[in-house]
Amino acid sequence: MKTGFIGLGAMGYSMARNLHKAGLLAAVWNRSPEKAQAFQAETGVSAAASIAELARDCDCVVMCVSADEDVLAVADALGHSLGEGALVIDCSTVSAETAKTAAARLAERGIGFLDCPVSGGTEGAKNATLAIMCGASAQDFERAQPVLQAMGKRIVLMGAAGSGQATKAVNQIAVAGVNQAVAEALAFARAHGLDLDKVIEVVGGGAAASWHLTNRGPNMAKMEFPLGFKVSLHEKDLKICREMAASLGVQLPIVEMTLLHYRRLIEQGHSDEDISSLYRLKRAMFDNPKG
């Protein structure tokens, strides 16, 4: 399958690199051309000048862009340029409704669509160990296997279009909870004068072990928050979760609290930091108990 990649961001660049390693990548395109040019310089894979040019060389296109409107804009452009029978695999995190809309628009042109949001962070993207939750027909899921297996490890078909994104919303609620728990626990540990690296080592070997504690805890201890996963992107995801819960008449406490905290971080200028910068607020709470 000749595959193209759109969206060479923190996740996409490494995912595209893994497709190249698997011998599947025919071309890449990025909105700001520098990233595509850097990718071409590194791998020799052609940097297309436009989405239409990329589509001409491909029968499958993977995208990993930011938000709902971005996915629909790219899907529409692909709908006008890919041939019948092609596949579009969207690894961005957006709403289930957006996935259903993209799938329906592309189906009108005989193009298959899979919503395939991913989890595992930039490390998972780099090491091709992403968890991939898919919403697609069984037939398209089968056809996409070589591409999905080049990027991820645990790949599960959840159901029809939209069900991959619904599953990703589940993931994002859990990530918010873990981020809250780890940031609060480490701020508490620091306030008690404990060595944070030792705390991470020993607590990370017990019942409170988590990916977030092991992979982000050491950065929190240093008050460094390199990407990772941007605060602004998780805020976008939690707003999707809020809407999905509201449609069932429910308000989720962890989602609401985390949205409030992320808004504070964004107002303080930290929107492009990793979500572990929530630790800033938790630490400040102990530094200024009455604040």
Please state, in angstroms and rounded to a whole number, the distance separating the CA atoms of residues 185 and 198. 13
Out of 1, 22, 31, 97, point to the residue binding ligand NAP (CB under 6 A). 31
Segment contacting ligand NAP (CB under 6 A): 69-77, 159-167, 176-184, 261-269? 69-77
Out of 3, 4, 5, 7, point to the residue binding ligand NAP (CB under 6 A). 7
**CB 130, min distance to ligand NAP, A:** 8
Please state, in angstroms and rounded to a whole number, the distance separating the CA atoms of residues 17 and 254. 35
Helix axes 33-43, 12-21, angle to 10 degrees: 30
Out of 233, 244, 278, 281, point to the residue binding ligand NAP (CB under 6 A). 233
What distance lies between CA 101 and its chain's CA centroid? 20
Q: Which of 2, 100, 153, 168 is catalytic?
A: 168
Of the candidates 138, 6, 146, the residue with the CA atom closest to the CA atom of residue 82 = 6
Site membership for ligand NAP, residue 73 (CB under 6 A): yes
Segment contacting ligand NAP (CB under 6 A): 118-126, 202-210, 258-266, 283-291? 118-126
- Provide the 3-class DSSP secondary structure of residue 1: coil
**Can the peptide bond before residue 228 be classed as cis, meaning omega within 30 degrees of 0?**
yes
The number of C-alpha atoms within 13 Å of 131 and in the hemisphere containing its C-beta is 10
Using DSSP bridges, classify how beta strands 60-63 and 87-90 pair: parallel, antiparallel or unpaired.
parallel
Site membership for ligand NAP, residue 64 (CB under 6 A): yes
Any catalytic annotation for residue 168?
A: yes
Q: How many residues bind ligand NAP (CB under 6 A)?
A: 26
Site membership for ligand NAP, residue 76 (CB under 6 A): no
Out of 74, 88, 103, 220, point to the residue binding ligand NAP (CB under 6 A). 74
Q: Is 187 exposed, middle or buried (0-12, 13-18, 19+ CB in 10 A)?
A: buried
Site membership for ligand NAP, residue 88 (CB under 6 A): no
Binding site for ligand NAP (CB under 6 A): 7-12, 30-32, 35, 64-66, 70, 73-74, 92-93, 118-119, 121-122, 228-229, 233, 237
**Which residues are designated catalytic?**
168
